[in-house]
Amino acid sequence: MNNLQLFLAHAIELEREAARRYEDLAEAMRSAGNREVQRFFAQMAQFSRRHLKEAMQRGGFHQLPQLAADEWQWPEDCSPETVKWEGMDAQIDAVQAMNLALEAERLGYAYYKALGLSSSDPEVRRMAQEFASEEADHVDQLEAWQARLAVS
C-alpha cells in the first residue's frame, strides 16, 4: 500500500472494528460477572476509539471514509481485527476472550508491520511502524492479562 489516505482509511476501519469487538467482549464479561476483565476490555475499546480519532485527524477525514469493496487491501479479505471473531458467543469466558483478543491484536500488529516493511511511501512506512508499535503494546497488555488469568 503506497497511498497515505488509503492507508489511513484502512487504519480507521481496523480501529473501528477493534473498538466494536472490545465493546462486545466487555459486554460478555459484564454478563459473566467479571468486572475486572470487563473494565480492561472497555479501556481497550477506548484506546481503539482514540486511535481511530487520531487516524481520522491525520487523514483530514470528517467522516469515516467509504471505500468500494475492491479498494480494501486486507491479507484475509477482511480487517485483521475481524478475522477470528465469528466464534465469539455470549457464553465466552475470560480466558477465551483474552485468547480471541490477543489473536486479533497479533494479526493487527502483523498487518501494520508488513506495511511498514513493504510500502514504497516513506510516510506510510513511518505511520505503519508507529501503529505496529501501538499494536505491540496491546499484545503485551493482553499477554500480561493472559498470564494473570492462567495463575488465577
How high is the pLDDT of residue 70? 77
Q: Exposed, middle or buried by CB within 10 Å (0-12, 13-18, 19+), for 151?
A: exposed
Residue 89 has pLDDT above 80, yes or no: no
pLDDT tens string 72-84: 787 777 777 765 5
SS3 content of the chain, % helix, strand, coil (to 5): 75, 0, 25
Q: Which domains does the chain show, CATH number per domain?
A: 4-151 (1.20.1260.10)
How high is the pLDDT of residue 85? 57
**Model-level pTM?**
0.87
Residue with cell 480507521: 12
pLDDT tens string 30-68: 999 999 999 999 999 999 999 889 888 887 877 767 777
